[in-house]
């Protein structure tokens, strides 16, 4: 129905066109009508940048360590919290439903036990450039839909950064007075427990505001210092207490994206102990919902319980190697977990049995508006951060098909500008609601793009080693190396293949166990699946090619150990001339030799990984 850009139907969020589609692993080729989230492009040169793997831990040789990470925003309920929730719910429960916070408040009474290895293991695949997890077979992410259905937070309403006006300012002044009374205690801090003791059950007009302030400070926007009431949430609490809906979901998702970036930077910069403040229990439940082979058996829900109650006080203990193995195949990832029936849980109306096009004004349809917010790229404005949201890169999570993602420019100069991309009021919209049990796929074009780009990005491991080992190297040299090994050359290869053949060849696995011969984090780049010896030769060939393209590449083959005489002769030749150039050349040679060693170690590790898979997995089958 919607074939192109915006037109008489207003804003077109989903476009439809006939395409040759395949699965994420290249199976089941078929020509059919496909639906894509915009912006979507059909030419490689117009596609958004492929995720740069040089900042993703899963695709680097760097040893990464999260032992010094503390999840300060992962809070369980206090001793009397459930009692206070029940008291307030009797009075304000209906108001909470109107403002879209009922499930979130009830959900805060449940204990989600931390599986540290699972959460930090997933961080390994996070790409801060695209705010997506980059697995060998494609991209996925935590979406607004996830935060809405797991966290019980609304995607609709006013921004969290809106200032108070009129009589609401007087309420804030009174809250600040109460804050100062608590502050005069011997601790000189307003602890969560002291705040609860001061307001719980006093039936004063401010009790509801104080209750919401504690809920926001502890479970939604926890911040430094730990377990202290945050005055920044007072305006949000006051507006919620007045029955004003606030869009908390985008602000919370922004904080999760922000802290995932912080975690990646922490590993590379070795900054000591790190505290993250986002509610990462949402990310763990996201993993539970989408990785059925790794989650504990969920609990049954009683009528009225939120989705989070399924995971109350359940234990799981993940192993990083097991997680890596499971994430090597899309068959282990559930794209649309919320469409499955769960007893005593009401599904949103946008999970339909039959597909439907929505055309026109949806301002009176709350759930349709919510779904339309989830599938549009935008900026997410939080209390203290702005992050980009790119659902068109992960269309399959919404039941759509996936083609090459188009560009979406940043609009993050101010919170107001960012919010306008999120809440861009348009009277009429046009989008597609897929059937609840739809089977989506990717275009052959996307499959080839991903297959070509992913292996080439593995070479960024060499560049990362250069940059991390010597901070004095010329940045232009590093950039030139990156440009040589990535992006342009890969795109040229794709375009050449497209011109040489009218139909792209699809790499189909011969049988299920063949995938086990591909080490996690790698995809075959040739038409046939790699065997162990082929993988060994392939990595060495890529390594040799990478060094050969470099303007200062050593003549000696990288997989051979040169004799002392060769090293001495090479040094004499390189060190003749300008002293400054010699000094830089020595540094480059030193780093390059270290990179060679790292590559040899990487190849050795690949061999061990495949041996382990053959012994422990293939044998069992």
Of residues 76 and 542, more confidence is placed in: 76
**pLDDT-wise least confident of 129-138, 354-363, 451-460, 599-608:** 599-608
**Residue 419: inside a domain:** yes
Pair 613, 473 in one domain: yes
What is the rounded average pLDDT of the residues 354-361? Answer: 90
Cα–Cα–Cα angle for 542, 547, 550, rounded to 5 degrees: 130
**Residue 587: inside a domain:** yes
Q: How many domains does the chain have?
A: 2
Of 442, 473, 499, the residue that ends a domain is: 442
**Residue 17: inside a domain:** yes
Of 442, 473, 503, the residue that ends a domain is: 442
**Residue 314: inside a domain:** no
Pair 416, 476 in one domain: no
Residue 274 forms beta bridges with which residues? 69
DSSP, collapsed to helix, strand or coil, labels residue 144 as helix
> Using CA atoms, how far apart are residues 562 and 558, in angstroms rounded to an integer?
9
**Close Cβ partners of 523 (under 8 Å, ≥ 6 residues apart):** 136, 137, 450, 451, 454, 455
Model confidence at 581, pLDDT cuts 50, 70, 90, reads low
What is the rounded average pLDDT of the residues 200-205? Answer: 82
pLDDT for 547 equals 43
DSSP, collapsed to helix, strand or coil, labels residue 433 as strand
* Average pLDDT across the chain, whole number: 80
**Residue 544: inside a domain:** yes
**Residue 577: inside a domain:** yes
Model confidence at 214, pLDDT cuts 50, 70, 90, reads very high
Q: Are strands 429-433 and 442-443 parallel, antiparallel or unpaired?
A: unpaired
Pair 519, 588 in one domain: yes
Pair 538, 408 in one domain: no
pLDDT for 502 equals 37
Name residue, tokens 């050969």.
548
Q: Are 121 and 326 in contact (CB under 8 A)?
A: no
What is the rounded average pLDDT of the residues 255-275? Answer: 89
pLDDT for 550 equals 43
Pair 414, 464 in one domain: no
Q: Are 382 and 23 in contact (CB under 8 A)?
A: no
DSSP, collapsed to helix, strand or coil, labels residue 473 as coil
> Using CA atoms, how far apart are residues 145 and 19, in angstroms rounded to an integer?
27
Domain that holds residue 555: 458-618
Terminal Cα-to-Cα distance of the chain (whole angstroms): 46
pLDDT for 318 equals 87
What is the rounded average pLDDT of the residues 530-548? Answer: 46
Task: Compute φ and ψ for 33, nearest 5 degrees.
Answer: -65, 130
pLDDT for 509 equals 37
Model confidence at 525, pLDDT cuts 50, 70, 90, reads very low
Pair 421, 463 in one domain: no
Q: Are 301 and 344 in contact (CB under 8 A)?
A: yes
What is the rounded average pLDDT of the residues 288-297? Answer: 94
**Residue 301: inside a domain:** no
pLDDT for 453 equals 83
The interaxial angle of helices 248-269 and 116-123, nearest 10 deg, is: 80
Pair 356, 502 in one domain: no
**pLDDT-wise least confident of 47-61, 231-245, 357-371:** 47-61
Distances from the Cα of 521 to the Cα of 124, 513, 524, 617, angstroms: 11, 17, 10, 17
Percent residues over pLDDT 70 in the chain: 69
- SS3 helix, strand, coil % of the chain, rounded to 5? 50, 10, 40
Pair 612, 467 in one domain: yes
Model confidence at 217, pLDDT cuts 50, 70, 90, reads very high
Q: Are 429 and 362 in contact (CB under 8 A)?
A: yes
Q: Is the peptide bond before 225 cis (omega within 30 degrees of 0)?
A: yes
Pair 416, 503 in one domain: no
Of 388, 407, 442, the residue that ends a domain is: 442
Pair 481, 586 in one domain: yes
pLDDT tens-digit series, residues 6-60? 555 568 899 999 999 999 999 999 999 999 999 999 999 999 988 887 778 887 7
Pair 462, 609 in one domain: yes
pLDDT for 393 equals 98
Pair 413, 368 in one domain: yes
Q: Are 402 and 441 in contact (CB under 8 A)?
A: yes
**Residue 148: inside a domain:** no
Q: What is the 3-state secondary structure (H, E, C) of 504-556?
A: CCCCCCCCHHHHHHCCCCCCCCCCCCCCHHHHHHHHHHHHHHHHHHCCCCCCC
pLDDT for 328 equals 86
> Using CA atoms, how far apart are residues 432 and 440, in angstroms rounded to an integer?
13
pLDDT tens-digit series, residues 67-82? 789 999 999 999 999 9
pLDDT for 570 equals 40
What is the rounded average pLDDT of the residues 448-471? Answer: 61
């Amino acid at each position: 129905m919607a074939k192109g850009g915006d037109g008489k139907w207003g804003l077109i969020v989903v476009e439809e066109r006939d395409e040759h589609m395949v699965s994420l692993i290249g199976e089941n080729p078929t020509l059919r009508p496909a639906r894509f989230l915009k912006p979507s492009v059909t030419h490689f040169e117009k596609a958004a940048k492929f995720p740069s793997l040089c900042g993703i831990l899963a695709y680097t040789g760097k040893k990464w360590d999260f032992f010094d990470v503390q999840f300060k925003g992962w809070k369980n309920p206090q001793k009397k919290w459930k009692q206070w929730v029940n008291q307030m719910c009797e009075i304000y429960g209906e108001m909470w439903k109107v403002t879209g916070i009922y499930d979130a408040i009830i959900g805060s009474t449940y204990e989600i036990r931390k599986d540290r290895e699972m959460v930090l293991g997933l961080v390994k695949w996070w790409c801060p450039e695209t705010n997506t997890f980059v697995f060998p077979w494609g991209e996925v992410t935590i979406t607004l839909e996830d935060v809405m259905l797991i966290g019980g937070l609304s995607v609709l309403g006013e921004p969290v950064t809106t200032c108070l006006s009129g009589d609401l300012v007087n309420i804030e002044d009174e809250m600040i007075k109460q804050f100062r009374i608590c502050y005069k205690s011997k601790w000189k801090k307003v602890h969560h427990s002291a705040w609860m003791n001061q307001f719980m059950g006093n039936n004063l007009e401010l009790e509801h505001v104080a209750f919401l302030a504690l809920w926001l400070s502890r479970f939604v926007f926890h911040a430094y210092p730990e377990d202290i009431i945050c005055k920044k949430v007072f305006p949000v609490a006051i507006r919620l207490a007045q029955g004003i809906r606030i869009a908390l979901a985008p602000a919370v998702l922004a904080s999760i994206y922000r802290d995932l970036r912080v975690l990646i930077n922490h590993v590379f910069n070795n900054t000591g102990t790190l505290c993250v403040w986002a509610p990462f229990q949402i990310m763990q439940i996201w993993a539970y919902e989408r990785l059925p082979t790794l989650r504990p058996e969920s609990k049954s829900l009683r009528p009225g319980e939120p989705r989070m109650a399924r995971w109350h006080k359940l234990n799981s203990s993940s192993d990083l190697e097991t997680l890596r193995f499971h994430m090597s195949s899309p068959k282990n990832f559930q794209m649309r977990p919320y469409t499955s029936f769960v007893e005593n849980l009401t599904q949103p109306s946008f999970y339909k049995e039959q597909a439907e096009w929505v055309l026109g004004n949806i301002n009176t349809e709350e759930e349709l508006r919510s779904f339309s917010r989830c599938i549009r790229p935008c900026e997410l404005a939080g209390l203290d951060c702005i992050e980009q949201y790119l659902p068109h890169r992960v269309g399959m999570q919404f039941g759509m098909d996936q083609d090459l993602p188009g560009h979406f420019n940043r609009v993050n100069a101010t919170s107001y500008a960012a919010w306008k991309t999120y809440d861009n009021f348009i009277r009429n919209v046009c989008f597609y609601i897929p059937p609840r049990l739809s089977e989506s796929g990717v275009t052959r074009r996307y499959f080839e793009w991903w297959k070509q780009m992913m292996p080439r990005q593995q070479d960024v491991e060499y560049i990362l080693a250069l940059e991390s080992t010597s901070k004095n190297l010329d940045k232009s040299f590093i950039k030139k190396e990156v440009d040589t090994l990535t992006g342009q050359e890969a795109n040229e290869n794709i375009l050449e293949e497209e011109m040489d053949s009218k139909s792209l060849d699809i790499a189909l696995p011969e049988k299920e166990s063949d995938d086990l011969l591909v080490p996690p984090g790698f995809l075959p780049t040739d038409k046939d699946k790699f065997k162990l010896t082929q993988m060994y030769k392939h990595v060495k060939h890529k390594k040799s090619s990478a060094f050969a393209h470099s303007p200062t590449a050593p003549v000696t083959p990288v997989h051979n150990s040169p004799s002392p005489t060769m090293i001495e002769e090479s040094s004499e030749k390189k060190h003749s001339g300008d002293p400054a150039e010699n000094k830089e050349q020595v540094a480059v040679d030193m780093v390059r030799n270290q990179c060679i060693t790292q590559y040899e170690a990487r190849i050795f590790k690949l061999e061990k990984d495949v041996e382990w898979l053959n012994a422990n997995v293939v044998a069992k089958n």
